[in-house]
Amino acid sequence: MLQPGDKAPDFDLPTDTGRVSLSGLKGKNIVLYFYPKDDTAGCTSEALQFSSEVEEFQKLGAVIVGVSKDSVASHAKFRAKHDLTIELAADPLGDVVEAYGAWVEKSMYGRKYMGVDRSTFLIDREGVIREVWRKVKVPGHIKAVMNAAKAIK
């Protein structure tokens, strides 16, 4: 399980605007967040809140990248439908989701299944994880991430 102080696992994923990678973002703080599914209530709320604060994060030298197992085409529709201003990366095989420990066993109505844990990682300019949030509840989360990003500016 990744903890603050650990080196962030490398990633290189497709987006609807190109590709995004850890090495390509070196020199910037990164808010890397994992979410279960495009265009669902909680995921839409989280994406909209991050999008509304993207300029504030940019002032802190931070970029926001959302990752799910959805396709690039799904991300493009999701971004267009909600006018999202954040980068959404596709990880259909789940390699990055697993590398960050966001692929977990879940339970609904007594049925167990595997799914993406809503989680966020704040990675500094050197590629070191500074903060980790797991089992994220959307209300208040973006403010907590913003405060942590301010602390490492």
Active site residues: 43
Q: Note whether 65 and 56 are within 8 A (CB).
A: no
Copy the structure tokens of residue 54. 């993207």
* DSSP, res 45: H
Burial class, 105, CB count within 10 angstroms (exposed 0-12 / middle 13-18 / buried 19+): exposed
